[in-house]
Chain A
Amino acid sequence: MDESGFDASAFEHSLDRRLPTRWIGWRLRLLVLAALLGCVVVFAVMRHLATSPVIDSAWQLTPQGQPILVASRLSSLQPMVGRVLVSVQAEGKAPLVVDDLLLQRTARWLVVDGEAFIRLHQQLAEHLASGRLTLHFEDGHSVQIDTPARGYVGLGLPFWPLAALALVLYLIGAAVLLMRPGKRNLLYTTMAVSQAGNLLLIAAELTRGIGQPAGFALLDQMLRLGFDVVSAAAAVCVFALHPRRMPGAAMWMGASILIAIVWAGLASFGALQALWPVTQGLIVGLGTTALGLVSWSYRIEANPFAAVMRRLSLAAMLTLAGVTVAAVATARQPGAAQGVAAVSAVIWYLFFASLLLLVPFLSRAKDVLREFALLAGISTITTSLDLLFVALFSLGPFASLTLAMFLALGVYAGARQWILNKTVGARVMTTERTFEQLYRVAREVQAHPERQRPLCSALLRDLFDPIEVLAVAQSLPRARVAGGGSALFAPLPSPGDSPSEAKTLVLRFANRGQRLFTHEDARLCDRIAEQLRSAVAYDQAVERGRREERQRLAQDLHDDIGARLLTLMYKAQSPEMEDYVRHTLQDLKTLTRGLAAAEHRLSHAASEWKVDLAHRLSAAGLQLDWTFRADEDVTLTVVQWSGLTRILRELVSNAIYHSHAQLLEVSLALQAGTFEMRVSDDGDGRAPETWSHGLGLGGIRKRVKLLGGQVSWHENPGRGVSCAVRIPGLIAA
């Protein structure tokens, strides 16, 4: 794969691409339109259900799988409570014998009895349509009842939240597509709309009482199977494209779409012999393919989005497999088992819908959604377990439900944090370590403001442990999560304010590709940048304060002491005294200049030394031979500058006043961090080792030592003496 490298230009492009900040114009209009359409559909379903006739009653199955009346609001049915229903009969029609299928709500999860269910409910609908029914109970009892329309109240309690959830899912799907129209989002929307349809159908199935509108049973079965096949095919397509385009994506997509179309064709013409096993196998197969694709994608590129998707898909697939197994296992068992299977299927849809709802908000860390998805997942497990107990150990429904509840709650309490961490991924560092690191970096930035950027990058790297880090020349007002949480754009604090220096750090795949970036992470980045900025500002304020204080000191010294020394110099009794005071004054000026200026470049200092020396030597009638070489122009500290200035001045003064020389050779050299100063005269001074260490020589030794160097005097081969000063590590000091 040649795409494994980092495509910086794509990221710079995506930095520029902004989400529409407000819902304006056509997006809003289309969304409103979609919402209206959704509401119209829901309302139509509601109306259709409300106007269809129903036997307003509650039933249970006996262990033998016979429907037994539990309660009814019809007064004529009240005496029949506790009796088993045998058949229903409309006037002028043959009695319709009923069995356990009467209480089933949908053919979607009936492994073998699908057709029987549809036939029974179709006939029941026809009987109900006549308006009056005779119910034949066991032991020859029979009752004649009216079958009025269900009415909106008769839709029952589960209908409303389910329909609302369906609407929400549908709207989220529409919003995602409108937000950024594209192939991937279209696929997501397809899945969302399919599952919204499923939820709406489930809501319709779970209405109160017995009796569905004519034709509903068949339509329901086909639609729900169809929605599931479409969702599974869309899942394959999505993972073929996202988070990265897989090798042979077109082939995967084409194949899955073709399979869905072929299935739809065959199913609609009734050409499929074993509809349920074939379709369910198809769904599980496509789902497994999608899971395989996303795992493969993660292996190619450790994108945490793929990791999270793989976990979510795995959860969905495992629970789906569980529900399927349960449905198959209970297929031949009449009674309660099938009811539980139906409920577990409903819960699986809720779980899947919540996962779909969760996906667009993964990086936003909506805790409520996560918890909801978790709960739905756990409930699915509970019901699956419940089913298993019923099927395998023949426990009573209540006992098995209680046991399953306890087990699931235990799992939930024990593994909740672990599961949550696995969904979005835990932070790399503990809070304590994060704080320590941040504190350390802030201190370091305070000490070295110029290293602010590298330090900030290193901190972010440690904090998120991403697979790839790249700095791009872009300015960004705030940190931002991109790519559904797979990347984080963090603006780096810039040393200056000019936008041309702006840098943005792109972190990809947090925690070695195990974790998604969240909006909290982006905010954390902003906080860190702010903290470092204030650290630098603090440091700058301190430095400014220091400089101002130094300058004030220098000013005072210079103005007060300088003026007095000047007067003293003019009034000096002897030329020696005058020179002594002049040197003092010059030293004072060197000191105050050193205090006032923060730093000196070696080349600048050298040029000033040279002019000063030339000036003084020409006044004294000496010639100057000056050489200066530096392999690097370093910045001298105040201490170094004033030390070197005074050493050089003292050496030259000695030559002027004591050596009777004609020529002074001064050479300065900085090589590999070692500074060497050589002052050589052609005067009559000899045997420097015998010189008394007066104020001048002692001062030189002291200063050289202060700078961490050595000084030595030698006799020149011909005439005069030379002094060599050697200071290693001038840069490091």
Chain B
Amino acid sequence: MAVKVLILEDNPVARSFLCRVVRESFSDANSITEAGDLESARRQIALAGGPTGLHGADPFKLILVDLELPDGNGMELLAELAQYPATKIVTTLYSDDDHLFPALQRGADGYLLKEDRFEVLVEELQKIVRGQPPLSPAIARRLLTHFRQSGADGPAPDSGFSSPSGFQTSRPVPIEKPLDHERLTPRESEVLTYLSKGFTIKEIASLMGIKWFTVNDHIKSIYKKLNVSSRAEAAVLASKQGLV
């Protein structure tokens, strides 16, 4: 059965490049749907069963989303597709955590940097689809700060100077009593701390005396918690504003 892929990218050259990357990455016969803006992407998703993908007979399995689009930001689509059962990947030129962290918070499974070489992109895409989340020290630092602030531990001791200005907007609404699923286990924060210091998964595995895929599991669990916590945050925000 063919894997259905949606590529949302406004630059036609980049779009065809990404198509090549996807074809190269998966040997299964895949059907690729291309969209140049948010509007057509939404239409395609509606055809394939709507944003929840529940009654859709044949939903997309993989969605590549560009952030900067002519009619809006790919982040909006990510938020709409929070429940969509597909691997969602951000393809972008931005590699800074100010852009990537919100995307991960909205349920993106990973990101690809469009300027990377073809072979690198293929490898990264395969990794993400296999379930190996993205790792960057800056993102790991952001994650640490995020979870320490939603927990009752106070500000992260590591963040010696003020966090970047964009951070203020994504500061979580203080929740009086942090839920358990929002807290990191000691192992998870250890992994995050190593990641923030630039260690690779293999190095972390040997430092902690565990297998590399265990490290990987920890990272996946952290991202899941991030996603859950950001949804809980949104719910709290909504109920506070009388939306629910």
Q: List residues of A whose CB falls within 8 A of some B CB.
A: 547, 558-559, 562-563, 565-567, 569-571, 578, 582, 585-586, 589, 593, 596-597, 599, 601, 603-604, 606-611, 614-615, 619, 626, 633, 635
Verify B13–A608 contact, CB threshold 8 A.
Answer: no
> Would A567 and B161 be within 8 Å (CB), given that A585-B115, A604-B141, A608-B137 are in contact?
no
Verify B198–A608 contact, CB threshold 8 A.
Answer: yes
Verify B120–A571 contact, CB threshold 8 A.
Answer: no
A534 to chain B, nearest CB (A): 22
- The docked-state distance in angstroms from the alpha carbon of A569 to that of B200 is 29
B19 to chain A, nearest CB (A): 12
What are 15 inter-chain pairs, A to B, with CB distance below 8 A?
A: A562-B93, A570-B13, A582-B117, A589-B93, A603-B197, A607-B197, A608-B137, A608-B198, A609-B198, A610-B198, A611-B135, A611-B136, A611-B198, A619-B117, A619-B119
Verify B93–A566 contact, CB threshold 8 A.
Answer: yes
- The docked-state distance in angstroms from the alpha carbon of A608 to that of B139 is 10
Verify B161–A635 contact, CB threshold 8 A.
Answer: yes
Verify A604–B138 contact, CB threshold 8 A.
Answer: yes
Asked if B179 is at the interface (CB within 8 A of a chain A CB), the reply is no
Verify B115–A611 contact, CB threshold 8 A.
Answer: no
Asked if B95 is at the interface (CB within 8 A of a chain A CB), the reply is yes
Please pick, from B11, B119, B141, B160, the residue contacting A566 in the complex, using a CB distance under 8 A.
Answer: B11
- The docked-state distance in angstroms from the alpha carbon of A559 to that of B70 is 12
Asked if B190 is at the interface (CB within 8 A of a chain A CB), the reply is no
Asked if B17 is at the interface (CB within 8 A of a chain A CB), the reply is yes
Chain B window 145-157, contacts with chain A (Cβ cutoff 8 Å), 1 for yes, 0 for no: 0000000000000
Q: Within 8 Å CB of B115, what residues of A? A: 565-566, 569, 582, 585-586, 589
Q: Within 8 Å CB of A635, what residues of B? A: 161
Q: Within 8 Å CB of B123, what residues of A? A: 619
Verify B117–A563 contact, CB threshold 8 A.
Answer: no
Verify A589–B95 contact, CB threshold 8 A.
Answer: yes
Q: Within 8 Å CB of A609, what residues of B? A: 198
> Would A608 and B17 be within 8 Å (CB), given that A566-B93, A582-B117 are in contact?
no
- The docked-state distance in angstroms from the alpha carbon of A558 to that of B13 is 18
Q: Within 8 Å CB of B233, what residues of A? A: none
Q: Within 8 Å CB of A558, what residues of B? A: 93-94
Verify A601–B160 contact, CB threshold 8 A.
Answer: yes
- The docked-state distance in angstroms from the alpha carbon of A604 to that of B141 is 9
Q: Within 8 Å CB of A606, what residues of B? A: 198
For the complex, would chain A's binding face be called helix, strand, loop or mixed by DSSP majority? helix
List residues 1-28 of chain B with CB under 8 A from any CB of chain A. Answer: 11, 13-14, 17
Verify B198–A607 contact, CB threshold 8 A.
Answer: yes
Asked if B230 is at the interface (CB within 8 A of a chain A CB), the reply is no
Asked if B188 is at the interface (CB within 8 A of a chain A CB), the reply is no
B2 to chain A, nearest CB (A): 26
Closest-by-CB residue of A relative to B197 is A607
Closest-by-CB residue of B relative to A582 is B115
Please pick, from A562, A586, A614, A619, the residue contacting B200 in the complex, using a CB distance under 8 A.
Answer: A614
- The docked-state distance in angstroms from the alpha carbon of A586 to that of B95 is 10
Asked if B241 is at the interface (CB within 8 A of a chain A CB), the reply is no
B217 to chain A, nearest CB (A): 20
- The docked-state distance in angstroms from the alpha carbon of A661 to that of B165 is 42
Ordered nearest first, which 7 A-B pairs have the shortest CB separation? A607-B198, A610-B198, A607-B137, A570-B13, A585-B115, A567-B13, A570-B17
Verify B160–A570 contact, CB threshold 8 A.
Answer: no
- The docked-state distance in angstroms from the alpha carbon of A563 to that of B9 is 12
Asked if B114 is at the interface (CB within 8 A of a chain A CB), the reply is yes
B139 to chain A, nearest CB (A): 10
> Would A619 and B120 be within 8 Å (CB), given that A569-B115, A597-B164, A608-B137 are in contact?
yes
Verify B93–A611 contact, CB threshold 8 A.
Answer: no
A719 to chain B, nearest CB (A): 25
- The docked-state distance in angstroms from the alpha carbon of A589 to that of B93 is 9
For the complex, would chain B's binding face be called helix, strand, loop or mixed by DSSP majority? loop
Please pick, from A571, A589, A599, the residue contacting B13 in the complex, using a CB distance under 8 A.
Answer: A571
> Would A633 and B11 be within 8 Å (CB), given that A566-B93, A607-B137, A607-B198 are in contact?
no
- The docked-state distance in angstroms from the alpha carbon of A189 to that of B116 is 89
- The docked-state distance in angstroms from the alpha carbon of A179 to that of B138 is 62
- The docked-state distance in angstroms from the alpha carbon of A535 to that of B13 is 52
A172 to chain B, nearest CB (A): 54
B157 to chain A, nearest CB (A): 12
Verify B93–A567 contact, CB threshold 8 A.
Answer: no
Closest-by-CB residue of A relative to B98 is A596
Asked if B96 is at the interface (CB within 8 A of a chain A CB), the reply is yes
Verify A596–B96 contact, CB threshold 8 A.
Answer: yes
Q: Within 8 Å CB of A615, what residues of B? A: 120
Q: Within 8 Å CB of A610, what residues of B? A: 137, 198-199
A257 to chain B, nearest CB (A): 61
Please pick, from A565, A569, A611, A633, the residue contacting B137 in the complex, using a CB distance under 8 A.
Answer: A611
Q: Within 8 Å CB of B198, what residues of A? A: 606-611, 626
- The docked-state distance in angstroms from the alpha carbon of A604 to that of B163 is 12
Please pick, from A566, A601, A603, A614, the residue contacting B114 in the complex, using a CB distance under 8 A.
Answer: A566
- The docked-state distance in angstroms from the alpha carbon of A606 to that of B196 is 10
- The docked-state distance in angstroms from the alpha carbon of A607 to that of B137 is 6
Q: Within 8 Å CB of B161, what residues of A? A: 599, 601, 635
Chain B window 91-129, contacts with chain A (Cβ cutoff 8 Å), 1 for yes, 0 for no: 001111010000000000000001101011001000000
- The docked-state distance in angstroms from the alpha carbon of A3 to that of B199 is 59
> Would A567 and B68 be within 8 Å (CB), given that A585-B115, A607-B137, A619-B117 are in contact?
no
Please pick, from B11, B96, B165, B200, the residue contacting A563 in the complex, using a CB distance under 8 A.
Answer: B11
> Would A567 and B196 be within 8 Å (CB), given that A599-B161, A608-B136, A619-B117 are in contact?
no
- The docked-state distance in angstroms from the alpha carbon of A603 to that of B120 is 27
Q: Within 8 Å CB of A566, what residues of B? A: 11, 13-14, 93, 114-115
Closest-by-CB residue of A relative to B94 is A558
- The docked-state distance in angstroms from the alpha carbon of A593 to that of B166 is 13
Closest-by-CB residue of B relative to A611 is B198
Verify A547–B14 contact, CB threshold 8 A.
Answer: no
Q: Within 8 Å CB of A589, what residues of B? A: 93, 95, 115
Closest-by-CB residue of A relative to B141 is A604
Verify B14–A567 contact, CB threshold 8 A.
Answer: yes
B58 to chain A, nearest CB (A): 31
B156 to chain A, nearest CB (A): 13
Q: Within 8 Å CB of A604, what residues of B? A: 137-138, 141
Q: Within 8 Å CB of B117, what residues of A? A: 578, 582, 619
Q: Within 8 Å CB of A596, what residues of B? A: 96, 98
Verify A567–B137 contact, CB threshold 8 A.
Answer: no
- The docked-state distance in angstroms from the alpha carbon of A394 to that of B141 is 99
Given A563-B93, A615-B120, 13 more pairs with CB closer than 8 A: A567-B14, A570-B17, A582-B115, A582-B117, A593-B95, A601-B160, A601-B161, A603-B197, A608-B136, A610-B199, A611-B135, A611-B198, A619-B123
Q: Within 8 Å CB of A601, what residues of B? A: 160-161
Q: Within 8 Å CB of B136, what residues of A? A: 608, 611
- The docked-state distance in angstroms from the alpha carbon of A589 to that of B114 is 12
Verify B93–A633 contact, CB threshold 8 A.
Answer: no
Verify B160–A567 contact, CB threshold 8 A.
Answer: no
Verify B13–A607 contact, CB threshold 8 A.
Answer: no
Q: Within 8 Å CB of A570, what residues of B? A: 13-14, 17
Most buried by B among A569, A596, A604, A615: A604
Q: Within 8 Å CB of B14, what residues of A? A: 566-567, 570
- The docked-state distance in angstroms from the alpha carbon of A566 to that of B114 is 8
Verify A607–B93 contact, CB threshold 8 A.
Answer: no
Q: Within 8 Å CB of B135, what residues of A? A: 611
Closest-by-CB residue of B relative to A548 is B165
Q: Within 8 Å CB of B13, what residues of A? A: 566-567, 570-571
A607 to chain B, nearest CB (A): 3
Q: Within 8 Å CB of B200, what residues of A? A: 611, 614
- The docked-state distance in angstroms from the alpha carbon of A611 to that of B196 is 10
List residues 45-84 of chain B with CB under 8 A from any CB of chain A. Answer: 68
- The docked-state distance in angstroms from the alpha carbon of A596 to that of B120 is 27
Closest-by-CB residue of B relative to A614 is B200
